[in-house]
């Protein structure tokens, strides 16, 4: 099946789920309730982080060269899962269900491999949630890095209320850095302390000064598109990186450590918490077609400021690096 990810094509327009009142959080959620949600999300993320630090470099454990057994492959060689992804998710889900038994839970490890499956899972979770709350989790974002022993991996936990992300948490257990955001607060925090607003703290004036992270998608067509973007941006920015962990990338943009990130065909558990962190910190998050970010967005560009964002978007567009056709 060919599927062109021309951004809006994946879920259609902003009215993908017309029955959802995406502004309901403004009148239906009290500050105290939001604080309870973020505290639970932080505790759950830390629990998964303990699994990560205990088994970093687990490829030797779960990939036995003497028997030719490999890590479990999901869609292709670049997209793997280990037994610890599932263990970490169980840690997260247990804490959430104890605190909020009536809320819905969507974890990556419960979803069949592939982009179409993650789209369908999100749609089903939003449609079926009787409480309006859906917790979304990636227990180990950057599994390939984790299995290899690279510390470029993290936990994501977000809370969605009637289609809007109201809580976003990303935890880097290796540095013990807990990034958190609550919708509408106008700031994000790092280990409980407010991070500087990007509009005041990190206002570089040109893409020439920007460090930009490029997506490393599993789909070969998406990867080729990302490489067109890399080639186009390489001579016009301070530097390109390919970290292969959207959680850390987006958290670092919210903290002003990176200036932009572009990625393709990413799932809600990859993007939702980081998008909230960045927007609450004063950064910019859009679809790669320039339309506003929504929970259903799968091709994303996020930046520390509008100048960089507009420059990157223009260069990617000129390089034909804003959409692709799925290879499967």
Distance of CA 180 to the CA centre of its chain: 13
Residue 219 CA to residue 61 CA, distance in Å, equals 27
**What SS3 class is residue 104?**
strand
Short-list 243, 247, 89, 275, CA closest to 177: 247
Q: In this predicted model, what pLDDT tens digit does every residue of 24-45 receive, in sequence order?
A: 999 999 999 999 999 999 999 9
Residues 6+ apart with CB under 8 A from 310: none
User: Sign of the C-alpha dihedral, residues 282, 284, 286, 290?
Assistant: positive
Quote the pLDDT of residue 129: 96
Cα dist. 114→111, 217, 219, 231, 288 in Å? 9, 12, 9, 27, 20
Residue 21 DSSP label: -
pLDDT for 63 equals 52
Q: What's the rounded Cα separation, in Å, for the pair 227 and 289?
A: 18
Q: What pLDDT sits at residue 82?
A: 85
CA 75 to chain centre: 19
Task: Evaluate the CA torsion angle 262, 276, 326, 78 in order and state its sign.
Answer: positive
What is the pLDDT at residue 1?
33
Question: Do residues 274 and 250 make contact, with C-beta atoms less than 8 angstroms apart?
Answer: yes
H helix or E strand, kind and range, residue 98: helix 83-99
Confidence of residue 81 (pLDDT cuts 50, 70, 90): confident
Rounded CA separation 246/53 (Å): 19
As a whole number of angstroms, the distance between CA 240 and CA 321 comes to 15
Q: Which residues neighbour 246 within 8 Å (Cβ) at sequence distance 6 or greater?
A: 141, 215, 261, 263, 266, 270, 271, 274
pLDDT value of residue 69? 46
Count other C-beta atoms under 10 Å from residue 154's C-beta. Answer: 33
**Span 160-173, average pLDDT:** 98
Mean pLDDT over all residues of the chain?
A: 90
- pLDDT tens profile 226-236: 999 999 999 99
Q: Tens of pLDDT along 270-288?
A: 999 999 999 999 999 999 9
Contact 272, 295 (CB under 8 A): yes
* Percent of the chain's residues with pLDDT above 70: 87
Q: Residue 211, SS3? A: strand
Which single residue is written with the structure tokens 């290899």? 148
For the cut 90, the answer to whether the pLDDT of residue 96 exceeds it is: yes
If pLDDT is split at 50, 70 and 90, which confidence band does 11 have? very low
Contact indicator for 116, 5 with CB cutoff of 8 Å: no
Residue 201: predicted pLDDT: 75
The predicted structure's pLDDT at residue 101: 98
- pLDDT-based confidence at residue 199 (cuts at 50, 70, 90): confident
Residue pair 261/316 in contact by the 8 Å Cβ criterion: no
70, 117, 142, 263 from 87: Cα distances, Å: 18, 21, 15, 27
Q: Report the pLDDT value the prediction gives residue 204, as an integer from 0 to 100.
A: 83
* pLDDT reading at 103 higher than 90: yes
pLDDT mean over 11-15: 38
Evaluate whether 298 touches 5 at the Cβ level (below 8 Å).
yes
């Amino acid at each position: 099946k060919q599927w062109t990810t021309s951004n809006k094509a994946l879920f259609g327009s902003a009215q993908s789920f017309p029955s959802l009142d995406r502004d309901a959080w403004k009148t239906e959620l009290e500050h105290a309730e939001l604080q309870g949600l973020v505290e639970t999300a932080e505790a759950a993320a830390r629990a998964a982080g303990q699994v990560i630090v205990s088994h970093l470099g687990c490829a030797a454990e779960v990939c036995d060269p003497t028997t030719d057994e490999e890590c479990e492959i999901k869609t292709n060689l670049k997209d793997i899962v280990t037994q610890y992804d599932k263990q970490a998710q169980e840690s997260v889900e247990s804490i959430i269900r104890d605190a909020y038994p009536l809320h819905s839970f969507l974890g990556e490890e419960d979803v069949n491999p592939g982009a179409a499956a993650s789209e369908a899972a999100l749609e089903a979770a939003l449609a079926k949630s009787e409480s309006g709350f859906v917790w979304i989790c990636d227990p180990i974002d950057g599994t390939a890095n984790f299995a290899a022993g690279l510390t470029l991996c993290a936990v994501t936990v977000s809370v969605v209320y009637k289609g809007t992300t109201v809580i976003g948490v990303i935890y880097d257990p290796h540095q013990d850095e807990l990034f958190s955001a609550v919708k509408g607060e106008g700031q994000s925090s790092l280990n409980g302390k407010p991070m500087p607003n990007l509009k005041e703290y990190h206002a570089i004036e040109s893409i020439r000064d920007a460090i930009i992270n490029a997506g490393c998608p599993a789909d070969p067509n998406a990867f080729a598109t990302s490489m067109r973007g890399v080639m186009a941006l390489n001579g016009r920015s301070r530097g390109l990186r390919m970290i292969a962990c959207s959680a850390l990338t987006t958290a670092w943009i919210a903290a002003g450590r990176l200036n932009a990130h572009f990625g393709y065909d990413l799932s809600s558990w990859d993007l939702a918490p980081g998008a909230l962190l960045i927007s609450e910190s004063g950064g910019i998050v859009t679809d790669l077609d320039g339309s506003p970010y929504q929970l259903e967005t799968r091709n994303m560009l996020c930046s520390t400021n509008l100048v960089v964002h507009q420059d990157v978007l223009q260069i990617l567009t000129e390089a034909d690096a804003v959409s692709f056709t799925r290879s499967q």
